[in-house]
Amino acid sequence: MLGRERRRAPRVAADKPVEIEIVGGGRSRAWAADISMGGMSLLTSEVPRHGSFLLVGLGQPVTPFAIRVPATVRWTRRCRFGIQFVLLGVRETSVLLAFVNAKLRAAAADSGSGEGTSR
């Protein structure tokens, strides 16, 4: 049985590569499956431990310039994990908000044209 949905912010498909730096550990690459203002879901062969603190490097096309977003690992699966963003600055918040809102507008336009949406 699945648990109750806890997300408060809408999720959008990200489908972009990101760089992960585990604080006190190493660096690796992952694939961002989806993103919201609260966090993101990532696919990787090297899943960090639950509770790990990390920095997620985002660049184009998610952001017009490179940013590093602090986050905590909230859940893990075999090759997937979810993070919650923490202590976002004004610049990071602005960039993430612009990306999420653009995706939401595009999805709304697609659904209004009868094409439907896909992740």
In this prediction, residue 113 carries a pLDDT of: 65
* 4-46: pLDDT as tens digits: 556 567 788 888 899 999 988 889 999 999 988 899 999 999 8
Q: What is the mean pLDDT of residues 55-62?
A: 78
Single-letter code of the amino acid located at 72: T
In the chain, the number of structural domains is: 1
Alpha carbon distance 9, 3 (integer Å) = 17
Q: Judge whether 7 lies within some domain.
A: no
Q: Judge whether 6 lies within some domain.
A: no
Evaluate if residue 102 carries a pLDDT over 50.
yes
Q: Judge whether 62 lies within some domain.
A: yes
Kindly state the tokens that stand for 79.
């090759």
Evaluate if residue 79 carries a pLDDT over 70.
yes
54 contacts 22 by C-beta, under 8 angstroms: yes
What domain range includes position 68? 12-110
* pTM of this prediction exceeds 0.85: no
Q: Judge whether 64 lies within some domain.
A: yes
Alpha carbon distance 91, 109 (integer Å) = 27
Q: Judge whether 99 lies within some domain.
A: yes
Q: Judge whether 4 lies within some domain.
A: no
Q: Judge whether 31 lies within some domain.
A: yes
